[in-house]
Structures are given as C-alpha cells and as structure tokens.
A and B are shown apart, each in its own frame.
Chain A
Amino acid sequence: MRFSDSFESRFTSMLGHYPTKRSVLVPTLLYMQDELGYLTDEAIRDIAQRLELTELEVRNVISYYSMLTTRPRGKYNVQVCRNISCMLCGADDVIAHLKKRLGIAHKGTTADGMFSFEEVECIGACSWAPAMQVNYDFHEKLTPENAEKVLDEYRRKGSQ
C-alpha cells in the first residue's frame, strides 16, 4: 500500500530502534489510521506482511487499544472526556448538548461524514476540565455553548 513519504521514512527509521520488528506495530497502526481514517482490511494485510505477523495477530492487537478502529469514522472525531474531574465540572451537560446538536449517540457518525462522537476516559486535562479532543487537538474549559462553537469552526473548516 502507498502511504505518505513521512509515514514511510518514520516507519523505516523506527524499524532500526528495536531488536524485534513487531515493536513498531502499535504506533504504526495509529499513523496508518491517521492517513486512511480507519484500519482497512488492506492496511491490516499490509502491516502484517511488513512485520511478518499473521493478520490475526495484528487484529488481536487492534482490538485491545481504544484509539484503533476498523470502522470508518467522521472527518473530525469528537472525544469528550466523561471521567471524574470532567464530570465534576459539567461534562455531562457538554456531552448531552453535543449529542443533541450532532444528532448522534456514543460512537455514532453524522450522515454527512463530518463528525463522529465518542465519550472517552481521562485524556489528561483534569485541571482544565471539562475537556475534549477533536482528532488530536485539545479543547478545554468547555461549556455546552463554547463546545458547540468549537464544532462550528471545524464544520466551517471541513466544508471548505
């Protein structure tokens, strides 16, 4: 499979960092997913071949890690933290509001493919709660109102 040049150069250099090939698997799966949107059957075959693993071994690893997915997701994956510090600071209101505005439930994707929504566990933003990540970007000190504005920005960016 063809991935970006930066993916390939990172992959090649990482192979030199460990005594076993398989060690590059977890971070490489995440970078593959970033380029494809999700881990396709073809991508799983590809990485299995590169690392001399069976597809089953690769799938076994994928199913363990919460960020890895074998199903398509929206362009922007909205991940709102529901854990204790965020909950105490009003995450439930943010979650309920965004679900309503997007019209989707936990792990759902909007019909236009723009957004997916996920409630996630602690993302390390406890002192700036409530917080969410849209793809990899952190958005903190949320209220239902400012969280909605953040998504409006992404929608604008995504439709250009």
Chain B
Amino acid sequence: MADLVSHPDEVKVVSRRFGQGAANLDRYLELDGYKAVQKALSIGPDAVINEMKASNLRGRGGAGFPTGMKWSFVPKQAPKPKYVLCNGDESEPGTCKDRLILEHDPHSVIEGVVVAGIAVGSHTGYIYIRGEYRYLSEIMQKALADAYARGFLGKNIFGSGYDFDVYWHGGAGAYEVGEESALMESLEGKRGVPRIRPPFPAVVGLWGGPTVINNVETLASVPHIMLGGGEWYASLGTPKNGGTRLFCLSGHVAKPGVYELPLGYNLKKMIFEVGGGIRDGNKLKAVTPGGSSTPVLKADECDVGMDFDQLMKAGSMLGSGGVVVLDDTTCMVKYLQRIMMFYQHESCGWCIPCREGTDWLKKTLNRFHAGGGVEKDIGNIQYLAENMLGRTFCPLGDAAAMPAISIVKKYRNEFEDHLNGRPCPLEAKALEAVPA
C-alpha cells in the first residue's frame, strides 16, 4: 500500500521489519518474533517494569507519558479483571505511522500487548483499530488467528501456565475516540464521550477494571526493549527521551514519508536533509511539529531537537510525530481555518468551551478568510482560544486552541493583510471547496 522510504540517518527499531513480510508468522519468527514474550514470562512482572522504566520510553500517542511509570500505576491486587488496550485509532491530522506498523509488523503489536499484560497481571488485551483502516483490521485478525493456532495466545502461553487472550476491535469514524477514556467508551459500545478523571484508567478503566492504554507505536517498541534492554533503548535518544520514533513528514517537503529517527534529531536537518528540503525551490515558512494540535513553529524556530522536552521548551510539543511542513506560499489564515473546521467537526459536544469555542472559531475564520473580517476578530480568535485552554474534560479543546493561539500570535501580520484587502496567496479556489 503506502510506499516506504529510507534515509541513512534512520535508526530502524520499530521499522526494522518493514517490507520484510513479517505479517506472516513464520517470517516474524525468523526475525526474533515472540522471543520478547518468552523473556518477559521468564523474568517476571517487576523486572519487565524496571526494564521499561530504564528505557525512558514515553507514550507515542502524543502525551509522552513514561510508559514504565504508567504500567506501575496499575494495582497488583484488583477485585475486577485488568485489561490492556492498544490504541490504534490513529487520526491526528499529519499522522500516518501506526498504519505502517499495523500493516508491516502486526505481531510486534500483539507481542507488546502480551508483555504489557504480563507486567500488570492482566489476562486480556484489545487492539482497537479505526474503522477506516479495514485492511489493517483484516491483517490483524489473521495475525491473531495465526498466533492462537500456534499456542502463542490463549491458555498456558509458551507452556508458562499463564493465560492471555488478545482480541481486535474496530471503530467507525471518530477522532475523539483516540482520547483514552473515549476509546474505552467506544469499546464498550457507546458514543465516544470522554470520562471524568480521576479515577484514571490504570485504576478504573474498561468495565471498571484497571486498564493500561498505550498507542500502537509504544507497544510495538516494547518487544525491542525486552530483547535489547532498557539501557540500550534509552541510549538511542536523549536524556529522559528514550529511543527512536516514527516521524511522518508531510506537506511541502520534497521527500515526504515516514522516517524512524532517534529522539532529539534536529528538526531543520529532518526537513532539509532527510526530507530533501522544500518542494519546488520554495522557502520554509512554518512547521507543525507533532500533529495538527501542536503549536506551529516559525522557520527561524526550527533549529530544535525533536524530543518531548526540547520542543516543550521551544513552545510546542512532540505530539504524535506528524511533522507538517509549510512553504512560503501557504496562507496561515486558511491553514488555521482548515484546522478549526476539523476540530469543530470532531468535538463531541459534551463540554461547552469546546463545543461552542470550536464552532465560533470556525465561523469567524471562515468569514475572515473569505474577506468578511473586521479588526476585532483577530483579538476575538485569540480570546476564544485562550479561554478554551484547560477548561474541558479531555484534551480536544486544548488541541483546537493551541494552533489557534500560536498562529494568531506568530502570524498576526497575515490576518492584518486580509483586512487590508491584500490578496491571500491561495485565494479564490480556497473557499469554494468548503462545504457549509
């Protein structure tokens, strides 16, 4: 399906088996498959969690929470069954990495789920895959059936006396379901409306039982950490930011694609060397470094190491690894308008600041970009967005607010240009494609 790319600076850990037919179980076994589960069974839960803590692996879904610590929050004794839930509802605009993992290396995800289960004393895992990824759901269903047929899943796995079941689950179109508590609601057969926290899923999750929820890429990293050791994995990245990650380069870059690079890799180098620079000889204008929800960086802010802490310091976030590159022909007002149209569409409507905020922002930006803006709109956009921040039950409100605040702050001049009637670089055709 999607083309694979490569670059000499890549450090292939999670993508090691891409393009090698590893969706086939025999091939996967030739490539060290299912050794990590056996190791986890032999060293036991505490040693697994220590190895994960040493690896400095942080959640690849976007929040960057330390995985080993997350697992350690699950109580050892619980009155209800514990669960592992793999989040494959990949839908943050700019992000297309989990798709490759699920296509090329589905067994590594299954293995990650089983290792997580062993670590927290769970006996059941679910792999949730978004509804649009039907072909990946089919690949996963086959991978699971193959693993069951060999006795790698089910009763007494690898003769250890430990039982572990893994099931697939499918969505039906909803960005919001990528949020962990909405994901659980969806898996329970309901609308994907977030839950109030605390209690956190590690204590009260699926059907009231303690639940570990991790992203596909996070879980696919786990078997490699089990085999290579936490220290080795940590050494690939920067302090407190262990390992590598799949960066999805898209937008106005000459060689878009999904590249696996060490955490801390310089963003400018990523764009100009790995990504081959800007298309059509244009100039770099801005970058969304970690999916549509992360604050934009201006061209002169791109000399930064791509890890959670350095990007936070630079006023943005590493997020989901979706690096969207914008050249100097891009209208930032239109870019924000398109982002806001998305968040308004995806807001579940439960919290008023998000439901009303995204709607007013979308309407204001639609009118503004179409030429009907007034000066106080600029301040209003900023004001609305700032008042959504931190005032919603789940991060969707923040996700909509952050790009808005950063774009108005950094590209105020472009908003003023629209008021002064200067033509927008993308003009005319821009708006006719927008449905009401």
Seen from chain A, the residues whose Cβ lies within 8 Å of a Cβ on chain B are: 14, 17-20, 22-27, 29-30, 51, 60-61, 64-68, 82-85, 87-89, 92-93, 95-96, 105-107, 119, 121-129, 133, 136-138, 140
Contact = CB atoms under 8 A, between A and B. Distances in A.
Tell which of B207, B250, B292, B324 has the most Cβ of chain A within 10 Å: B250
Nearest to B258: A127
11 contacts: A26-B172, A26-B189, A29-B172, A60-B191, A119-B433, A122-B95, A122-B175, A124-B90, A124-B99, A129-B250, A129-B256
Contacts of B126: 17
B338 A87 contact: yes
Interface in B339-361: 339, 341-342, 345-346, 348
B430 A124 contact: no
Given A61-B190, A65-B173, A84-B339, A126 B94 contact: yes
B2 A125 contact: yes
Contacts, number: 168
Nearest to A31: B170
Given A26-B172, A88-B324, A121 B342 contact: yes
A84 B342 CA distance: 9
B324 A140 contact: no
Contacts of A23: 169, 187-189
B338 A26 contact: no
Contacts of B249: 127
Tell which of A26, A51, A136 has the most Cβ of chain B within 10 Å: A26
A85 B338 CA distance: 10
B338 A138 contact: no
B248 interface: yes
Interface in B130-179: 130-135, 165, 167, 169-175
A84 B131 contact: no
A9 B96 CA distance: 32
Contacts of A138: 1-2
Contact of A25 (B189, B338, B430): B189
State the 9 A-B residue pairs at the shortest beta-carbon distance, nearest first. Answer: A67-B173, A25-B189, A66-B173, A27-B170, A22-B189, A65-B172, A85-B250, A136-B134, A106-B435
A67 B131 contact: yes
A128 B256 contact: yes
Contacts of B338: 82-84, 87
A126 B95 CA distance: 6
Nearest to A99: B433
B72 interface: no
Contacts of A67: 131-132, 172-173
A158 B119 CA distance: 51
B192 A64 contact: yes
A122 to B, nearest CB: 4
B30 interface: no
B226 to A, nearest CB: 26
B342 A20 contact: no
Nearest to B137: A27
A124 B2 CA distance: 10
Contacts of B172: 26-27, 29-30, 65-68
A123 B99 CA distance: 10
B335 A84 contact: yes
Nearest to B98: A124
A51 B188 CA distance: 12
A138 to B, nearest CB: 6
Nearest to B141: A10
A82 B339 CA distance: 10
Contacts of B258: 127
Contact of B131 (A22, A61, A65, A105): A65
Contact of A84 (B188, B191, B251): B251
A36 to B, nearest CB: 15
A126 B96 CA distance: 6
B189 A88 contact: no
B3 interface: yes
A136 B92 CA distance: 19
B167 A122 contact: no
Given A26-B170, A106-B435, A126-B93, A83 B251 contact: no
Given A20-B207, A61-B189, A96-B433, A126 B248 contact: yes
B313 interface: no
Interface string B69-90: 0000000000001000000001
Contacts of B248: 126-127
B257 interface: yes
Contact of A124 (B81, B95, B169, B326): B95
Contact of B252 (A20, A88, A136): A88
